Amino acid sequence: MESIQAIKQRFGIIGNDPKLNRAIEKAIQVSPTDISVLVTGESGVGKESIPKIIHQLSHRKHGKYIAVNCGAIPEGTIDSELFGHEKGAFTGATQTRNGYFEVADGGTIFLDEVGELPLTTQVRLLRVLENGEFIKVGSSKVQKTDVRIVAATNVNMFEAIKKEKFREDLYYRLSTVDINIPPLRERKEDIHLLFRKFASDFALKYKMPTIKLTDDAVIILKKHRWNGNIRQLRNAAEQISVLEQNRTISTATLQGYLPNGSSNLPAVIKTSKAESDFSNEREILYKVLFDMKSDLNDLKKLTMKLMKNGNVSEVEKDNEGLIQKIYGEPQKESAIEEFEDLEILAIPEQSSEIFDPEDKNQDKYHFAEEIEEEETLSLHDKELELIKKSLERHQGKRKLAAAELGISERTLYRKIKQYDL
């Protein structure tokens, strides 16, 4: 059995916290079995490494590994994405399509944000877990699949069960083994370690000297609450690496990059208007400039290759990823990868006074339908509204809008397609 240290190295996991080590140890222990695992922990703590470890150390490692972000797939298409559909099952279903559970036969499926699954999909999932059976949408034929399921959630599943948003029987089926990843604020000793690693990565990436925190700044860094966990820490390290000329970072400088100053108090719920989230124009402009620089470098690379090779179609084929990055074209329609690492827009929490999450009769989709005429209140509508406004503000310039919204251009492109803007 590979040691915890070796696994960390192999999967690029930084940290020595005992609770993190325990989580990795559990993943190693369960990997040879087919036991379903539920990974729990706040957003940004590093849940996604666990299913990868489990898959790679299992006998399924030569099979497919599919990561599905359940929260990013619209309710109307999720059953078809997961279980496939028959030709003619619904308008637009011009061909029979295999779902992820069929494609991943013999492999592993990672269901990220599993708490977001609609109840009807939960019923189908329970069946797969119980006897490996599923039925394509629009079909009556029962099919078999052999898939290992690892799920993850950052929501309190007991709350979700209480509110009848999540089936209790499914919860117990999914969480035969529970692997919890603690929040960064409970792994204080890892904070500076991670920061140094990110600082050195970004120094390499941007070809600048590595930033270094003063001793006082290290104390502030460790005290901070890090609500966005490692994701937030990495973003802070990137911003500082890019923006600060003086590579020795003082407390005052660091605090400028931490929301709520250096507070280690619980974060205040956002009450401000959407617009004020995007008020820091300097930051946005810097981000745009750096994106442009990166695009320019990519273009240089591509031009050089074209000059050297001369064969356009060959260069095009070999550099598909790069071309897509520069021109923002999606590689394929409705591919599995589309849902991997799909960023989701943070929606300002304004609608909470009207949408009551305590009210179990008020399911969000149902709710969105009811108030459609009055105001745009559902999460999707909110997102749509934010995107529209941002595009208007920037006269349709996607790069600026994406920077303002804090998502990649690729994600914005998909969302524009998704909302038919």
Ligand X SMILES: Nc1ncnc2c1ncn2[C@@H]1O[C@H](COP(=O)(O)OP(=O)(O)O)[C@@H](O)[C@H]1O
Give the interface with ligand X as residue ranges (CB under 6 A): 12-15, 41, 43-49, 194, 230-231, 234
**Residue 197 CB, nearest distance to ligand X (Å)?**
7
> Which among 109, 137, 108, 106 is positioned nearest to 121, based on CA atoms?
137
Q: How far apart are CA 99 and CA 194, in angstroms?
A: 38
- Closest distance to ligand X from the beta carbon of 249 (Å): 20
Say if strands 84-85 and 97-98 run parallel, antiparallel, or are unpaired. Answer: antiparallel
Q: Supply φ then ψ for residue 398, to 5 degrees.
A: -65, -35
Which residues, in sequence order, are CB contacts of 55 under 8 Å at separation 6+? 31, 61, 65, 107, 108, 110, 148, 150
Q: Cβ of residue 4: shortest distance to ligand X, in angstroms?
A: 12
Residue number with the smallest Cβ distance to ligand X: 46
Give the nearer residue to ligand X in terms of CB position, either 46 or 107. Answer: 46
Q: Which C-beta is closer to ligand X: that of 14 or that of 288?
A: 14
Q: Which amino acid is at 375?
A: E
Q: How far apart are CA 282 and CA 253, in angstroms?
A: 15
* Residue 415 Cβ vs ligand X, minimum distance, rounded to whole Å: 19
> Which residue, 54 or 391, is less far from ligand X as judged by CB?
54
What are residue 176's DSSP bridge partners? none
Please state, in angstroms and rounded to a whole number, the distance separating the CA atoms of residues 95 and 90.
Answer: 10
Tokens 């609500």 -> residue: 227
Q: How far is the CB of 14 from ligand X (least distance, A)?
A: 4
Q: Which is nearer to ligand X, 2 or 133 (CB)?
A: 2
Based on CB atoms, which residue is closest to ligand X, 86 or 113?
Answer: 113
Residue 77: closest CA among 95, 64, 66, 93: 93
CB of 305 to ligand X, least distance (A): 29
User: CA dist 54 to 32, 203, 409, Å?
Assistant: 8, 32, 32
CB 17 → ligand X: shortest distance, Å? 9
Residue 8: CB minimum distance to ligand X, A: 8
59 versus 205: smaller Cβ distance to ligand X = 205
Name every residue whose Cβ is closer than 8 Å to that of residue 5 and which is 6 or more positions away in sequence: none
The four Cα atoms 56, 57, 58, 60 give a dihedral, to 10 degrees, of 20
Q: Which is nearer to ligand X, 46 or 118 (CB)?
A: 46
The nearer residue to ligand X, 12 or 266, going by C-beta atoms, is 12
Q: Which of 97, 77, 78, 79 shows the shortest CA–CA distance to 88?
A: 97
